[in-house]
C-alpha cells in the first residue's frame, strides 16, 4: 500500500482562513504572524497601521525573542515571556522551541514548570486549556463542547494532587498539562490545535491555597471516594463523546488514584499514564543503553528503587516485561526488582503494603535504610524516584562503586531540587565510573580531566512519540508493548559518541527524529495487535516524519 497524505498534517480550512478583521487576526495565536505579515497580507486583511511598517522574517523574529529572553536572568520571568509568546503567536513559539530546544525545554517544562505551578496564581495572564470543576458535575459534557477546536487528538489531564515532587498544587497544576502538550507539539509535531490541556479541579488539601486570596481554584478540600470516581467517570464519558479520536493522558495523579484509574480505563479508551508508563519507557531505555557500556545482559541486572510510587512500580513492571521477552519467568524477573518505600524495604513480612507494591514484596529480612539495602541486595542499578532530595549519599554511591565496576545510578526525581544526587556527586564519589542519568538536567562536569555530559532521562523522549504514533495510525488502545518498543528504539538511537561522554540518550537536538522513530515503533505495535484504524503505509518512519507539524508561516494571499 502506498503512503497517502496524512490527515494529521492537513490544516482545516476553517482554521486556515484568516479572520476578516485585522485586529482579530492579530489576536488569534494560531493565525497571527506579527511583523511577518507581508505587504499583500496587510493590504488584504486591513493590517496597515496595526503593525510597525517593516516586514520581518521569522528568523529575525526568533532572534528578537531570544535577545529579550536572554537579558532576563530570572527563570520565572523567562517562563512568563515564553508563555506570553505562545499565547500570541504559536508558530513563532514553536519555532523558538525547535531552534533552541536544549536551552528552552528546562524553562517550559521541568524544572522551571514546577516553580511556575507554585506561582500560578501570581503569574496568571491568559486562559489556556479547560478547568473542569467539581461544582459543575452533571454539566461536564456541555463544558467540553465549548472548546473552540473540535478535532482534538491529544488531551493531557491532571487533578493536581501530585505535581512533580511538589505534592498537591490543586488548580495551579494546570502548568503541567500545558507544558506537556507544548512538548507533544515541539518534540513530536502534534499540531497545536489538536491538543487540549485539562485540569480537574476537585479541590485542594494544601492549607496555604485554601487561605490564599490569589489562589484561582476551588478553596475547598478535595473530594474522595465514590464522589471523586463519579466525577472522573463523567469526565471520561464526556471526552469520548465530544472528542472521540482523542488520546487521553493521565498526568500527576496521586498514587492512590493513578494506578486505579489506569487499570479501570486502559481497556475501555485510548489512554495511558505518563508517570507510570512514560517514565518506565525512558528509564528502561537508559538501562538498555547502560548495557552497551557494561557489556552485560538485561537478565543479569538487579535493580533497587528508592521510592515505590507510580514511577518506580511502572519501571519495575516494564523491566519485568523486558526480561520476560528475553526468556525469564515473570517470578524470576520480579525477583530482580527491589523497592525501598518511605518506611523500609518492601518485603514479604510487611502487612502495611499497598496493592501495587505486593508483587515485589520478596522474602528478605527487614531493612530500614538505603545503605543497608544496597549492601544486602548488591544491585547493579540504583534508581531514585522518591521525590526526596539528597538520598544518594557519598557512602551509598561508594558502596555501589565497590560492588560494581560500572555502577548504574539514576537520580530521576523532579524538579532539580528533588534529585537524589547531582551528576558531579555521582561521578566524583564513584571515581568517574558511574553511569548516570537524571530526571532534570545537570550541566557537564569534569572529573580527573575527563568531561562527562550527563543524560537527562526525560519523558519527552518517549510520550510525544508515542502520542504521534497513536494519533497517526488511529490506535484505539495504548498497550504496554508500545512503551517496551519505545525503550528499545530510544536506546538504539544513542550513538557510541553519546555513550562515550556518559550520555545514555541522543541529544535533544535530534528529538524530532527520535519521536518519528518511536512513533513508527508505536504504530508497528498497533498494526500487529489489530488496534490501528488507519491504513498501514509502506514506510512508517517516513509517514510519521511527514505527519509532523512544522512551525512555518503560511501565506494567506
Residue 548 maps to a domain: no
Give strand pairing partners of 273: 250
Of 364, 376, 369, 441, the residue nearest 403 (C-alpha): 376
Residue 535 maps to a domain: no
Crossing angle (nearest 10°) for helices 310-325 and 279-294: 50
Specify the residue for cell string 494506578.
Answer: 259
pLDDT of residue 22: 86
CB 451 within 8 A of CB 444: yes
Q: What is the CATH number of the domain that holds 200?
A: 3.40.50.10380
The answer to whether residue 292 is catalytic is no
Residue 485 maps to a domain: no
- Say whether both 124 and 232 belong to one domain: yes
- Spatial distance between the Cα atoms of 518 and 386, rounded to a whole number of angstroms: 27
Residue 478 maps to a domain: no
Buried b (16+ CB within 10 A) or exposed e, 319-338: bbbbbbeeebeeeebbebbb
Sign of CA pseudo-dihedral 548, 549, 551, 557: positive
The answer to whether residue 447 is catalytic is no
Residue 282 maps to a domain: yes
Residue 388 maps to a domain: yes
- Say whether both 209 and 349 belong to one domain: no
Residue 554 maps to a domain: no
- The distance in angstroms from the start CA to the end CA of the chain is 36
pLDDT of residue 1: 38
- Say whether both 283 and 315 belong to one domain: yes
pLDDT of residue 8: 52
- Say whether both 297 and 329 belong to one domain: yes
- Say whether both 286 and 249 belong to one domain: no
- Spatial distance between the Cα atoms of 136 and 26, rounded to a whole number of angstroms: 33
Residue 303 grid coordinates: 535493580
- Spatial distance between the Cα atoms of 378 and 10, rounded to a whole number of angstroms: 54
- Spatial distance between the Cα atoms of 111 and 270, rounded to a whole number of angstroms: 29
Q: List all residues 6 or more positions away from 212 whose beta carbon is below 8 Å from its beta carbon.
A: 121
pTM over 0.75: yes
Residue 297 grid coordinates: 545482559
- Say whether both 355 and 408 belong to one domain: yes
End position of a domain, from candidates 269, 293, 315: 269
DSSP string, 162-185: S-TTS---GGGGGHHHHHHHHHII
Q: Within 10 Å of residue 287's Cβ, how many Cβ atoms?
A: 25
> In which domain, by residue range, is 324 found?
277-461
**Which ranges of 243-354 would DSSP assign to H, the alpha helix?**
255-265, 279-294, 310-325, 330-334
Q: What is the CATH number of the domain that holds 292?
A: 3.40.50.720
Buried b (16+ CB within 10 A) or exposed e, 263-282: eebbeebbbbbbbbbbbbbb
Give per-10-residue mean pLDDT for the chain (557 aa).
Answer: 45 49 91 97 94 98 97 94 97 98 94 94 95 97 97 98 93 97 98 98 97 96 98 98 98 95 97 96 97 95 96 95 93 97 96 94 97 98 95 98 98 91 97 95 93 93 98 97 96 96 95 98 98 98 98 93
Catalytic one among 69, 109, 120, 288?
109
Own/partner pairs, 206-210, CB within 8 angstroms, 24+ separation: 206/167, 206/168, 206/169, 206/170, 209/169, 209/170, 209/172
Residue 155 maps to a domain: yes
Residue 69 grid coordinates: 529572553
Q: What is the CATH number of the domain that holds 82?
A: 1.20.1370.30
- Say whether both 250 and 135 belong to one domain: yes
End position of a domain, from candidates 89, 108, 127: 108
pLDDT of residue 16: 47
| Total domain count, the chain | 3
DSSP string, 434-478: -EEEESS----EEETTEEE-PEE--GGGTHHHHHHHHHHHT-S--
Classified as helix, coil or strand, 347 is strand
- Spatial distance between the Cα atoms of 157 and 176, rounded to a whole number of angstroms: 9
Cis peptide before 153 (omega within 30 of 0): no
Number of residues written out for the chain: 557
- Say whether both 377 and 414 belong to one domain: yes
- Say whether both 265 and 409 belong to one domain: no
Specify the residue for cell string 463523567.
Answer: 234
End position of a domain, from candidates 65, 82, 108: 108
pLDDT of residue 557: 87
Catalytic one among 69, 94, 115, 180?
180
Sign of CA pseudo-dihedral 375, 379, 380, 385: negative
- Say whether both 201 and 125 belong to one domain: yes
- Say whether both 195 and 62 belong to one domain: no
- Say whether both 82 and 37 belong to one domain: yes
Amino acid at each position: 500500500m502506498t503512503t497517502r497524505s496524512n490527515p494529521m498534517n492537513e490544516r482545516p480550512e476553517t482554521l486556515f482562513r484568516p479572520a476578516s478583521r485585522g485586529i482579530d487576526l492579530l489576536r488569534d495565536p494560531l493565525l497571527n504572524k506579527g511583523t511577518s505579515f507581508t505587504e499583500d497580507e496587510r493590504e488584504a486583511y486591513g493590517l496597515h497601521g496595526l503593525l510597525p511598517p517593516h516586514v520581518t522574517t521569522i528568523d529575525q523574529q526568533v532572534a528578537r525573542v531570544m535577545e529579550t529572553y536572554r537579558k532576563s536572568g530570572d527563570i520565572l520571568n523567562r517562563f512568563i515571556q515564553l508563555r506570553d509568546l505562545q499565547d500570541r503567536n504559536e508558530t513563532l513559539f514553536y519555532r523558538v522551541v525547535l531552534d533552541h530546544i536544549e536551552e528552552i525545554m528546562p524553562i517550559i517544562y521541568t524544572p522551571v514548570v514546577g516553580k511556575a505551578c507554585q506561582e500560578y496564581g501570581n503569574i496568571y495572564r491568559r486562559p489556556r486549556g479547560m478547568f473542569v470543576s467539581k461544582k459543575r458535575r452533571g454539566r461536564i459534557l456541555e463544558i467540553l463542547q465549548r472548546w473552540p477546536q473540535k478535532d482534538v487528538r491529544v488531551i493531557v489531564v491532571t487533578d493536581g494532587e501530585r505535581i512533580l515532587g511538589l505534592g498537591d498544587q490543586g488548580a495551579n497544576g494546570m502548568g503541567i498539562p500545558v507544558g506537556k502538550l507544548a512538548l507533544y507539539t515541539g518534540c513530536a509535531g502534534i499540531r497545536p490545535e489538536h491538543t487540549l490541556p485539562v485540569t480537574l479541579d476537585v479541590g485542594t488539601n494544601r492549607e496555604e491555597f485554601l487561605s490564599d486570596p490569589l489562589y484561582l481554584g476551588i478553596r475547598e478540600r478535595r473530594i474522595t471516594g465514590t464522589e471523586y470516581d463519579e466525577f472522573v467517570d463523567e469526565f471520561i464519558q464526556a471526552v469520548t463523546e465530544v472528542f472521540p479520536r482523542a488520546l487521553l493522558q493521565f498526568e500527576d495523579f496521586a498514587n492512590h488514584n493513578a494506578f486505579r484509574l489506569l487499570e479501570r480505563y486502559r481497556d475501555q479508551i485510548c489512554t495511558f499514564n505518563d508517570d507510570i508508563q512514560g517514565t518506565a519507557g525512558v528509564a528502561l531505555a537508559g538501562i538498555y543503553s547502560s548495557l552497551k557500556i557494561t557489556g552485560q545482559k538485561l537478565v543479569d541486572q538487579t535493580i533497587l528503587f528508592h521510592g515505590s510510587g507510580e514511577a518506580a512500580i511502572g519501571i519495575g513492571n516494564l523491566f519485568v516485561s523486558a526480561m520476560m521477552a528475553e526468556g525469564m519467568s515473570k517470578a524470576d524477573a520480579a525477583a530482580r526488582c527491589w523497592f525501598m518505600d518511605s518506611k523500609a524495604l518492601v518485603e514479604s513480612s510487611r502487612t502495611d503494603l499497598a496493592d501495587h507494591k505486593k508483587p515485589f514484596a520478596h522474602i528478605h529480612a527487614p531493612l530500614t535504610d538505603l545503605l543497608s539495602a544496597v549492601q544486602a541486595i548488591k544491585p547493579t542499578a540504583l534508581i531514585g524516584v522518591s521525590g526526596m532530595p539528597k538520598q544518594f549519599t557519598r557512602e551509598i554511591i561508594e558502596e555501589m562503586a565497590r560492588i560494581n565496576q560500572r555502577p548504574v545510578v539514576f537520580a530521576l526525581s523532579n524538579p532539580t531540587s528533588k534529585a537524589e544526587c547531582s551528576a558531579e556527586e555521582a561521578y566524583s564519589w564513584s571515581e568517574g565510573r558511574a553511569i548516570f542519568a537524571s530526571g532534570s538536567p545537570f550541566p557537564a562536569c569534569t572529573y580527573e580531566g575527563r568531561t562527562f555530559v550527563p543524560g537527562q532521562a526525560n519523558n519527552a523522549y518517549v510520550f510525544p512519540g508515542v502520542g504521534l504514533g497513536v494519533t497517526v495510525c488511529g490506535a484505539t488502545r495504548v498497550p504496554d508493548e508500545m512503551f517496551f518498543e519505545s525503550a528499545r528504539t530510544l536506546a538504539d538511537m544513542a550513538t557510541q559518541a553519546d555513550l562515550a561522554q556518559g550520555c545514555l540518550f541522543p541529544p535533544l537536538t535530534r528529538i524530532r527524529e527520535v519521536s518519528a522513530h518511536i512513533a513508527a515503533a508505536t504504530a508497528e505495535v498497533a498494526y500487529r495487535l489489530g488496534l490501528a484504524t488507519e491504513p498501514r503505509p509502506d514506510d512508517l518512519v517516513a509517514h510519521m516524519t511527514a505527519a509532523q507539524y512544522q512551525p512555518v508561516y503560511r501565506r494567506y494571499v
